[in-house]
């Protein structure tokens, strides 16, 4: 089977609207998600959620693990809960075949060698400013960052440029930071404040703890 077939099999699991809703909820959530939380979020029963969540694990889109949530151990502490999180790995398929990743790698290599960091950041900032919206949370969500509020800071659960950022971190993370700063409305600010997962940029809004 080609890698395209693998990707198609994985993505075909998202054809079901309930399953897609569950995937989006788990993928955007910081940390692990229980069956109950996923069921509540999508508005289905726990049994239906469990069925679809396990299909998503089979497809390689989610990972599952067990943990006791009560904090107790030993006899009487209850059964461990099954928890879900977004799986590592990317699934890309294009019909007809397109290889934008190849192009982006080549371009990044050339931009890096030519030392065009400042030019790239300026372009990213301008693109961000052109798309700047009154509601940066919505804008970031649309761009795949999976934003969520945590202790008054807006965190980004996903890095939309992950593979390229791994290969060209100075170039791509610098570009990303400039792009986000351009996107932010007046009074918002971005800082490098990494968590173990996701984009390392954290954002503060104009009003303290202004959760939306």
Among positions 41, 57, 116, 122, the unique one binding other proteins when judged by CB under 8 A: 116
- Considering the complex, what minimum distance in angstroms separates the CB of residue 11 from other proteins? 30
Angle at 7 between CA 4 and CA 12, to 5 degrees: 120
Q: Does 144 bind other proteins (CB under 8 A)?
A: no
Of 86, 92, 57, 64, give the one whose Cα is nearest residue 163.
92
For 2, 92, 93, 101, the CA distances from 5, given in Å and listed in that order, are 5, 10, 9, 18
CA 10 – CA 155 distance, rounded (Å): 27
Site for other proteins in 5-34 (CB under 8 A): none
Read out DSSP for 57-122? HHTTSEEEEEE-SSS--STTS-PPEEEEEEPSS-----SS---HHHHHHHHHHHHHHHT-HHHHHH
- Considering the complex, what minimum distance in angstroms separates the CB of residue 200 from other proteins? 5
62-67 and 147-150 beta bridge pairing: unpaired
Q: Does 127 bind other proteins (CB under 8 A)?
A: no
Stretch that binds other proteins, among 37-45, 58-66, 88-96, 186-194 (CB under 8 A): 186-194
Among positions 178, 183, 184, 203, the unique one binding other proteins when judged by CB under 8 A: 178
Q: Does 97 bind other proteins (CB under 8 A)?
A: no
- Considering the complex, what minimum distance in angstroms separates the CB of residue 194 from other proteins? 4
Site for other proteins in 47-76 (CB under 8 A): none
- Considering the complex, what minimum distance in angstroms separates the CB of residue 106 from other proteins? 16
Q: Does 173 bind other proteins (CB under 8 A)?
A: yes
Q: Does 156 bind other proteins (CB under 8 A)?
A: no
Size of the site for other proteins (CB under 8 A): 17
Q: Which residues contact 80 (CB under 8 A, 6 or more apart)?
A: 66, 67, 68, 69
Binding residues for other proteins (CB under 8 A)? 114-118, 121, 167, 169-170, 173-174, 177-178, 191-192, 194, 200
């Amino acid at each position: 089977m080609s890698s395209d077939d693998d990707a198609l099999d994985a993505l075909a699991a998202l054809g079901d609207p309930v399953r897609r809703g569950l995937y989006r909820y788990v993928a955007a959530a910081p940390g692990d998600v229980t069956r109950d939380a996923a069921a509540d979020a999508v508005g289905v029963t726990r049994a239906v959620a469990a069925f679809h969540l396990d299909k998503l694990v089979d497809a390689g889109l989610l990972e599952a693990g067990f943990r006791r949530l009560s904090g107790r151990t030993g006899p009487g502490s209850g059964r461990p809960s099954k928890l879900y999180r977004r799986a590592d790995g990317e699934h890309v398929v294009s019909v007809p075949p397109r290889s934008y990743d190849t192009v982006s790698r080549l371009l990044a290599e050339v931009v890096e060698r030519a030392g065009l960091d400042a030019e790239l950041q300026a372009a990213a900032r301008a693109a961000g400013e052109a798309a700047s919206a009154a509601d940066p949370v919505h804008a970031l969500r649309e761009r795949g960052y999976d934003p969520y509020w945590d202790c008054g800071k807006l965190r980004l659960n996903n890095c939309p440029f992950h593979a390229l950022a791994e290969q060209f971190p100075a170039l791509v993370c610098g570009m990303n930071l400039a792009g986000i700063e351009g996107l932010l409305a007046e009074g918002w600010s971005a800082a490098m404040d990494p968590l173990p997962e996701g984009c390392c940029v954290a954002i503060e809004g104009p009003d303290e703890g202004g959760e939306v």
